[in-house]
Amino acid sequence: MGTFMHRRIIVIGGVAGGASAAARARRLSEEAEIIVVERGPYASFANCGLPYFVGGEISDWHGLLVQSPEVLKARMNLDIRVRTEAIEIDRQGRTVTLKDLDTDRVYTEAYDALILAPGSTPLRPPIPGIERPGHFVLRNIPDARDLDAYLADRSGGRAVIVGGGYIGLEMAEQLVRRGHPVALIEALPHVAGFLDADMACRVHAELRQHGVDLHLGKAVRSFDDPDASDGAMASVAVLEDGSRIPGDVVLLAMGVRPETTLAKGAGLTIGITGGIKVDEQMQTSDPHIWAVGDAVEVIHGVTGRPMLLPLAGPANRQGRIAADAIMGRASAYRGSFGTGILRIFNLAAAGTGANARMLDQAGLSYQAIHVHPMDHASYYPGASPLAMKLLYDPGNGRLLGAQVVGLSGVDKRIDVLATAIQSGLTVDQIADLELAYAPPFGSAKDPVNIAGMAAGNVLRGDVHVAHCSDIGSCDTETTCLLDVREEAECVSGVIPSAMTIPLSQLRARMDELPRDREIIVYCRSGQRSYYACRILHQHGYTVRNLSGAYLSWSAAAG
């Protein structure tokens, strides 16, 4: 590709991908004429901050405006046209038909390069009653302002949230903060789909602890008119099992779909996921058109499968790469890894890479381990346990996915693990990482190191693991559960049918254990049971360590 320094570039859509592309193109070329077309009233705003404005943590919605058109014009010499809709692309003539939504004027603009960043639109399935008054989506600043104004007149009203993804969970927290009782409905068995069920159970517990009424594994059948007994001002969500969930306000957070109307009308290739198909340079099937952000289909960096990923971070990188490609620079998008994090009240939940469901769908072999290290040195005040799950290739140990849930230090660990996945590191290499340590921040063996060590022990065959899902199907005639915690610790609860021998007494009492049965060993977090497994294995017993130990089992048991 040659170098093009005198181009007329039109960017359709602002926010993350479009604004990033326009700004990068300007930094690479002072000569290029760059027009940014935005259907909404704001060309560059922080849509990830919308829930926090509704909840009151961000007091003024103006704080969500990243840059005004005037500033973008003055600093970047960009021609920003808000309240302007692109209605048609003429690929042969290389023109775009635009409509000024304030004056209804329709006109055309020619382009040398066109960047599509139309984003996505909230899903509104054809559920009877879904268009009732009092139902809201949250995608842009006008949405947030409308919802905020509606809630202002309904202080303490009951809120129904349909969908347990990022927006649904963030809004559950914010509506409770605002004083509204919240019911959250999720058609799938657990919320936070980027997590596996054995990690999402901690999110469920946190939500319930803060009064959120969870309805899991149940879809909404209809939204009905409330009757006198319901006492709801908006509608009643009727679930598949007939349950009636009344709400004074309903937030529809069932996900988004890529906005591809313009691309389809232009005859651009659409991928199997419904997003615009692009190559590594974000180029579409037309050599003069690029596409970025929520509307494009990307390749997952671990599974190699096409996917949709409506996140701001990838959109920003894609915008930069598209601008590089237009200007003749060698730049390529390496795929998406889905790194994300949520705050749910006091808890943070994060994931990166592939989860178990994605690996199963891709037909990839994997091993999983759970560990519960403290977020910083246990002797320093305020330490709390992290729940960590690693998924890795059982053949070569390459890290495939990671999930972390905890009160503190989650963001630091998930970012290290995301870097490890994108760098192709193995669990042994993760165990060897040299990470920052001081007692208020971590431990001499960081939780990331500990997770890598635990996975490496399994990879090398030093220990075999069982998982909490195995416990329910255990046959007591062939399996023995062994708790190696101290007796005082068992007061808080034990796994049913387990026998107890503290690790400190194990060598003296191991003759009490059956040699004709497999022994599954657990402690509180998995470290002492690993020691016990090493002892018993070297004395001829058949043993497995319960991954995640009692902390994982008790969380899954609810």
Q: Where are the alpha helices (DSSP H) in 215-341?
A: 261-265, 312-326
Catalytic residue among 201, 468, 480, 523: 523
Determine how β-strand 120-122 pairs with β-strand 256-258.
Answer: antiparallel
The C-alpha atoms of residue 312 and residue 111 are separated, in whole angstroms, by 26
**How many CA within 13 A on the CB side of residue 466?**
26
Return the H-helix or E-strand segment holding 276.
strand 276-277
Which among 21, 32, 37, 26 has a CA at the least distance from the CA of 81?
Answer: 37
DSSP state for residue 307 in the 8-state scheme: E
Length of the chain: 558
Which among 492, 471, 485, 496 has a CA at the least distance from the CA of 546?
Answer: 471
Contact (CB, 8 A) for 282 and 325? yes
Which among 357, 353, 454 has a CA at the least distance from the CA of 404?
Answer: 353
Contact (CB, 8 A) for 325 and 283? yes
Residues in Cβ contact with 129 at an 8 Å cutoff, skipping those fewer than 6 apart: 222, 223, 224, 225, 235
96, two tokens: 């775009």
Catalytic status, residue 201: no
Sign of the Cα torsion 290, 296, 300, 303 reads: negative
The C-alpha atoms of residue 25 and residue 34 are separated, in whole angstroms, by 8
Place of tokens 């181009």: 7
Q: Hey, which residues are catalytic here?
A: 523
